[in-house]
Structure 1
């Protein structure tokens, strides 16, 4: 009877060791995935920023080289005013 209990205890210990090893592997994988996710987020934010900058350059080139219709001029002024509001908001945040 005592031998059977000792065998069961050894089996439980072996399973516990296996679970601990699996847990360590999963934690390492989780850490690597979190790092990859952060890198992807940073890359995506950079890409969005680059697209916005290129769009601005395109708008400047387009509006600088052609005559604008009244509707285009209003849209352009609205966009410029939006940028100015954003700049003012950033300055206000930096001033605090």
Structure 2
């Protein structure tokens, strides 16, 4: 083989490797975009839940804040904190 042919063959091999890498990266990008869309949907659902729960909490406070027992207040606070943690986790995943 002449030097030029060897050079062309090396270039062809390098292009093949780059093409395979590009295809893998494209597949990974597609997967990440699907995951991102799913997480955004979950985030929207969690935001709706938070808004609904905030509304319920406000309604309870306005209605009769003294009607809730301490255990009910703590249970409600625990539930809300759980939602907040879950939302924070989703947001962290979205920002990666």
Normalised by the shorter chain, which TM-score bucket?
A: 0.5 to 0.7
Structure 1 gaps of 5+ residues are 67-96
Query: What TM-score does the superposition give when structure 1 sets the normalisation length?
Result: 0.62
Distance in 1 of aligned mates of 2:4 and 2:57: 78
Q: Using CA pairs below 8 Å that are at least 6 residues apart, which structure has the higher relative contact order?
A: 2
Query: What TM-score does the superposition give when structure 2 sets the normalisation length?
Result: 0.62
Structure 2 gaps of 5+ residues are 66-96
Cα deviations across residues 54-78 of structure 1 (Å, max 9, x unaligned)? 0111111221225xxxxxxxxxxxx
> Is 1:45 aligned to 2:54, yes or no?
no
Superposed, which structure 2 residues align to 1:61-72 within 5 Å? 61-65=60-64
Q: Which has the larger radius of gyration?
A: 1
CA RMSD of aligned residues (A): 1.7
Q: How many residues align?
A: 66
Where does residue 58 of structure 1 map in the other structure?
Answer: 57
Superposed, which structure 2 residues align to 1:23-42 within 5 Å? 23-42=22-41
Where does residue 11 of structure 1 map in the other structure?
Answer: 10
Distance in 2 of aligned mates of 1:49 and 1:60: 16
